[in-house]
Amino acid sequence: MFRWGPNWIDETMYLAVYAPAQPVMKVIVTSPGVSGEESDAVVMKKDPDLLDTWWIELDQPQGQYEYEYLLINGSRIADPLSRRLTNGRTRIEIGPGGISTADDYQWQSADYVRPSLDTLIIYELHVDDFAAQGNGQGRFEDVIARLDHLKATGINAIELLPITDFPGTHSWGYDPNLMSAVESRYGTPEDLKVLVDQAHSMGIAVIMDMVWNHIRSSSPIWEIQPDYNLNPYIKQHDQLNPNETEGSWGMLDWDHFNSKTIEYINAVNKIWIDEYKIDGFRFDATRMIGWQMSQPEYGILGWTSTIEELDPTIYQIAEHLPSDPWLVDNSPLTQPGMIVFMMFS
């Protein structure tokens, strides 16, 4: 019945969360900027058919809200499928048509066609460094203001260094905290949609740099169950999967050969494709993710295949060092030309 995250079904708002091995789950819903008390928490219902999935029906009127989950140990965490974080909590807006997502944004570039792979000229940029112009506060709106300059250089694609949520105030984004959420210092989800829309109107594709090799310990993905034996998403560093090279830079290591991890990654990638109309992904450090031809549903093949099924024109670029021509030649993907495994960083 439910997808993970906020749901709008038959004019009713639901929250659903996968919480491995948690005996009880509660949620605190507040107005923006308000930190609710534990006494405000409402107990969620455990789904009888979906393993470790909890849900609740909410009857909040239209407006802006923040919510967080309360665990039995007293920890409070954001939704692992948050689109927006404020004050460390999940921010949502309930409008006339339900929960505010890309469906509410009026896209102006519906007839946009992605450049063919053999004509792609990519400009890689870090939002803060590219757009801040020395003040250290670059935002999506500043990138929009410089799209004319980029177009004049002859490029037809921009690749954004990671724009998913990270801790602290300044980062290149390779220390991700939550892969589904837009980094708030760059702007809101709507600001990102405007950037993509404006870029498309100028014939410029937008590619996201995605870091699926590792995750911060501050992430809700870990905090929802901080036990290696119980959290299916995360594994010990020395538990290497097929064709995986160890390397997590002091952060937690995703277990890409667990079905729950692949399910989560597929859900997140679909958010960026469906809600933000992202044109492609550059996957970071794929040598450290692993793959197995006899198990194509896992590892890097697990989600690149799913993306290709969703839309075979999505660009998929891997930072695969050293390069692996055998993997490309023997890939089960039906259109391997859209999967570019290369020495690229």
Which amino acid makes up residue 2? F
Q: pLDDT tens for residues 138-181?
A: 899 999 999 999 999 999 999 999 999 999 888 999 999 999 99
pLDDT at residue 2 is higher than 70: no
Average of pLDDT values for 135-140? 82
pLDDT at 334: 52
d(CA 169, CA 51): 37
CATH architecture under which domain 117-342 falls: Alpha-Beta Barrel (3.20)
pLDDT at 102: 45
Distances (CA, A) of 319 to 31, 124, 213: 42, 14, 11
Out of 3.40.50.300, 2.60.40.10, 2.60.40.1180, 3.40.1710.10, select the CATH number for domain 5-100: 2.60.40.10
Number of alpha carbons in the 13 Å side-chain half-sphere of residue 14: 18
pLDDT at residue 252 is higher than 90: yes
pLDDT at 332: 61
Q: pLDDT tens for residues 321-340?
A: 777 777 777 666 555 445 55
pLDDT at residue 320 is higher than 60: yes
How large a percentage of the chain has pLDDT more than 90?
66
DSSP-derived secondary structure letter, 119? G
Please state, rounded to an integer, the average pLDDT across all residues of the chain. Answer: 89
Average of pLDDT values for 289-298? 89
pLDDT at 345: 47
Please give the distance of CA 107 from its chain centroid, rounded to a whole number: 21
pLDDT at 73: 95
Task: Give the residue carrying structure tokens 């991700």.
Answer: 176
Higher pLDDT, 105 or 151: 151
pLDDT at 103: 56
Of 54-68, 86-100, 324-338, least confident by mean pLDDT is 324-338
Task: Give the residue carrying structure tokens 């993306």.
Answer: 307
Q: pLDDT tens for residues 18-54?
A: 999 999 999 999 999 999 999 999 999 999 988 899 9
**Coil vs helix vs strand at 92:** strand
Within 8 A by CB and 6+ apart from 290, the residues are: 240, 241, 242, 243, 244, 256, 257, 298, 299, 300
How large a percentage of the chain has pLDDT more than 70?
91
Specify which of 24-38, 100-114, 292-306 reaches the highest per-range mean pLDDT.
24-38
Higher pLDDT, 144 or 294: 144
pLDDT at 216: 96
pLDDT at 55: 95
Please give the distance of CA 301 from its chain centroid, rounded to a whole number: 18
Q: In the chain, where are the structural domains located?
A: 5-100, 117-342
pLDDT at residue 203 is higher than 90: yes
Higher pLDDT, 317 or 249: 317
pLDDT at residue 1 is higher than 90: no
Within 8 A by CB and 6+ apart from 273, the residues are: 307, 310, 311, 314
Of 139-153, 270-284, 299-313, least confident by mean pLDDT is 299-313
User: Please, which pLDDT band fits residue 269 given cuts at 50, 70 and 90?
Assistant: very high
Q: Could you tell me the pTM of the whole model?
A: 0.93
pLDDT at residue 264 is higher than 50: yes
